[in-house]
Amino acid sequence: MKGLSINNISMRFDLKNGSSVQALKDVSLDIDEGQIITVLGPSGCGKTTLLNIVAGFLAPTEGKVILNEHIVQGPGAERGMVFQQGALFEWMNVRSNVAFGPRMKGMSKAEQDEKVKHLLEIVGLADFEDKAVYELSGGMQQRVALARCLANDPDVILMDEPLGALDALTREKMQGLVLKLWKETGKTIILITHSVEEAVLLGERLLVLAPRPGRIHKEYKLPFAEMGVNVDLREVKKADGYTETRDEILSIIWEMEEEIMGRAEEN
Partner 1 sequence: MAILIFYIIIFIAAFYLVKIASSFTKSQDDFTSLKTVTFGDESAVSPNRAASFISVIAVFAIWAAFTGSKLIPIHVPGPFIGELSFSYTAMNASGQTDDADVTITVYDVQTGDIPDKLDIEPGTGFALNDTDQIITYRSGLIKVQKNDVGGKDKGYKVIAVNGQEILPEQEIFVDNARIYMTRKGTLSVTPEKGWQMQPVWLPAPETVWSRLVKVGSEGYKNFTLLEHLGWSLIRVVVGFLAGAIIGIPLGYAMGLSGWFRGWFDPIVEFMRPVPPLALIPLVIIWFGIGEQGKIILLFLASLWIMTISARAGVSGVNIAKIHAAYSLGASKWQIMRLVIVPNSLPEIFTGARVSMGVCWGTVVAAELVAAQKGAGMMIINASKFQMTDLVIMGIVLIGVIGYAIDILMRISENYLVPWKGK
Chain contacts with partner 1 (rule: CB under 8 A): 55-57, 74-77, 79-81, 83-91, 100-101, 104-105, 132, 134, 148-149, 152, 154, 158
CA 162, 163, 164, 165 torsion: positive or negative? positive
Task: Answer whether 216's CB lies under 8 Å from 207's CB.
Answer: yes
Closer to partner 1 by Cβ: residue 34 or 56: 56
For residue 119, the minimal CB distance to partner 1 (Å) is: 13
For residue 74, the minimal CB distance to partner 1 (Å) is: 8
Closer to partner 1 by Cβ: residue 129 or 197: 129
- Cα→Cα distances 170→151, 167, 176, 194, Å: 23, 6, 10, 16
Cβ neighbors of 25 (< 8 A, separation 6 or more) are 10, 213, 214, 215
For residue 118, the minimal CB distance to partner 1 (Å) is: 17
For residue 72, the minimal CB distance to partner 1 (Å) is: 11
CA distance 141 to 169: 15
CA 109, 115, 116, 118 torsion: positive or negative? positive
Closer to partner 1 by Cβ: residue 19 or 134: 134
Closer to partner 1 by Cβ: residue 114 or 135: 135
The three-state (H, E, C) secondary structure of 94-129, written as one string:
HHHHHCHHHHHCCCCHHHHHHHHHHHHHHCCCCCCC
For residue 257, the minimal CB distance to partner 1 (Å) is: 26
Closer to partner 1 by Cβ: residue 101 or 203: 101
